[in-house]
Amino acid sequence: MKDNINSVAEGLALYLASLIGVYPAAANGDYAGLFDPVSEMPAVAEADELPRLFGRDERPFEIEGLEDLRGFFRGLSAQREPAKAIEDAAASLDTLLRARGVTREEIARLKLIVMRAMEEYLDIILGRGQPPARPVESELEKSGVITADEKVIELFRRAARVASTSATVLIAGETGTGKELLAGHIHRLSPRAGEKLVEVNCAAIPQTLIESELFGHEKGAFTGATRRRRGRFLAANNGTLLMDEVSELDPAAQVKLLRVLQEGTLTPVGSDREIHCDVRIIALTSQDLFRMTNEGAFRPELYYRLKVVLFNLPPLRERGGDIHILADHFLEKYSREYSRKGLRFSGDALSALASYHFPGNVRELENIVRAAVALAEGSTITLNHLPAEITEAAAGSRDLLSRIRAASVDGEPVSRKLLKVPDLLLAKVLSNTRGSWFSRKGFREHLHSAGSPVSDRTAGTYLKLLDAAGILEWNGERTVRARYRLKT
């Protein structure tokens, strides 16, 4: 079998696909019919010994040392994003095979074949298989949350514990990360769930009217006030008030809000009477309120009153595994809504989505999938149905990967010096910086979010290597002032 590495590698690719949910039965040890749906693949059909490699009573691999790969791939069974699974597999083959005495030449060839086989066949495999089950918890589903990311799941668990209290909550995160979903989750699980959840977008209301909108006004309090208005606080009495983009409040409104939080009373515009109100406040912001307090744009005492409990929602680019799950969810949703049943993503389209940085986060992904469903012809969503910025980003990531693989320092390939970070993952992380300057700490955080944690020292070493190889440029500063960015 040592001369039949091609067949084995294609088997590995199929086996890996089975373990990431494409063939759920195979992951449970039932290989019956595993290869039936792919009979038209020439390379697979010609591999006479391929079925035997995965027989129940046979060693899964006949190349010495490769049996360990079965256990390794089983460890990937929770991985729901095929493109990421390819990266993980390719990244780990080096260490695993070298430890078993497989030569460097065989390792390099096997890695290349596995990646090519996965990329070539994934489209067909996914098209024939069943979509992976979504690993979400029932309580999250009730709140409309779709995720497999442990950080997000833990954040919602913490929110569930906080929900039973009356503590004020501040939810921070970029636009489109799901702050409203988290706020609704807290309200639904709280003792106030039977009362109203009243929403107000502070950025959508003119500053001249924000106090009236929040606290109400008396008839004749100002020009156009032809009748008394209760305001959002009293409308939410005994319930929850969701204040979106609270950073947009002007100084006068900040003072009044602080008073409500401190004393539980408010005074409508044009009135001198105090009104008691019992409202739980959940404030949302896409801005850095702490920085705003330091700059004098937001009252520090209000900030600390709001952030009794603080939740920071991670952006979608730091939840790589969720991109595939959410894309499938939105595909199913809009296929049903637009009567386009049977639609699926091509492998290239999924890979392009997985490599995109999504500045608009989940909301942007939803709109992209919605448009793709509307534009799709036939049964497959391809790259042609995705926006130019996504296909261009995917092409840029591939070009950067080629540069990294071709780069060398002191006559040795850079990729050999970056053993702790897969080159595919590194290309994705660097592409997502979009040419912006970043620090060593920022680089380390990007790698950690992408699933490849390294020490601060290792991050610094890798940055210097990439600078020496001409992949990055350095600003010439030392220590904490050092910054890097992609070299064009």
Average pLDDT over residues 193-220: 88
Residues in CB range of 452: below 8 A, 6 or more apart: 420, 421, 422, 425
What is the distance between the alpha carbons of residues 191 and 170, in angstroms, rounded to a whole number?
A: 19
What is the distance between the alpha carbons of residues 425 and 401, in angstroms, rounded to a whole number?
A: 9
User: Domain 393-486, CATH 1.10.10 — does that match?
Assistant: yes
**Span of 44-53, 87-96, 137-146, 281-290 with lowest mean pLDDT:** 44-53
Average pLDDT over residues 468-472: 92
What is the distance between the alpha carbons of residues 380 and 382, in angstroms, rounded to a whole number?
A: 6
Alpha helices in 407-468 (DSSP H): 414-417, 423-431, 440-449, 456-468
pLDDT of residue 451: 66
pLDDT of residue 3: 36
Give the residue among 324, 349, 281 at the shortest CA–CA distance from 123: 349
Give the residue among 156, 174, 230, 159 at the shortest CA–CA distance from 198: 230
What is the distance between the alpha carbons of residues 110 and 13, in angstroms, rounded to a whole number?
A: 11
pLDDT digits (tens, 9 = 90+) for 271-308: 888 889 999 999 999 999 999 999 999 999 999 999 99
pLDDT digits (tens, 9 = 90+) for 397-428: 888 888 888 898 888 888 788 877 777 778 88
Measure CA 186 to chain center: 21
Residue 42 in this model has a pLDDT that exceeds 50: no
Give the residue among 117, 95, 88, 67 at the shortest CA–CA distance from 20: 88
Topology classification of domain 316-386:
Helicase, Ruva Protein; domain 3 (1.10.8)
Determine how β-strand 408-409 pairs with β-strand 412-413.
antiparallel
Identify any residues that bridge with 120 across adjacent strands, giving them in sequence order: none
What is the distance between the alpha carbons of residues 214 and 233, in angstroms, rounded to a whole number?
A: 6
Alpha helices in 189-241 (DSSP H): 210-215, 232-235
pLDDT digits (tens, 9 = 90+) for 305-344: 999 999 999 999 888 678 888 999 999 999 999 999 889 9
Q: pLDDT band at 34, cuts 50/70/90?
A: very low
What is the distance between the alpha carbons of residues 330 and 291, in angstroms, rounded to a whole number?
A: 35
Determine how β-strand 265-266 pairs with β-strand 275-276.
antiparallel
Q: By the 8 A CB rule, do 171 and 282 touch?
A: yes
pLDDT digits (tens, 9 = 90+) for 357-400: 898 999 999 999 999 999 998 899 999 999 998 988 888 888 88
pLDDT of residue 237: 93
For tokens 């940055």, name the residue: 463
What percentage of residues in the chain have a pLDDT greater than 70?
Answer: 71
pLDDT of residue 386: 95
- Token pair, residue 313, equals 């929602």
Side-chain half-sphere exposure of 117, counting CA atoms within 13 A = 26
What is the distance between the alpha carbons of residues 244 and 409, in angstroms, rounded to a whole number?
A: 50
pLDDT of residue 109: 52
pLDDT of residue 1: 31
Domain extent listing, the chain = 5-128, 150-312, 316-386, 393-486
Angle at 368 between CA 367 and CA 372, to 5 degrees: 115
pLDDT of residue 91: 52
pLDDT of residue 59: 32
What's the predicted TM-score (pTM) here?
Answer: 0.64
Side-chain half-sphere exposure of 54, counting CA atoms within 13 A = 28
Average pLDDT, the chain: 75
Hey, is 247 helix, strand or coil? helix
- Specify the length of the chain in residues: 488
pLDDT digits (tens, 9 = 90+) for 430-452: 887 877 899 998 898 888 777 67
- Token pair, residue 342, equals 């049977």
Average pLDDT over residues 94-111: 53
User: Domain 150-312, CATH 3.40.50.300 — does that match?
Assistant: yes
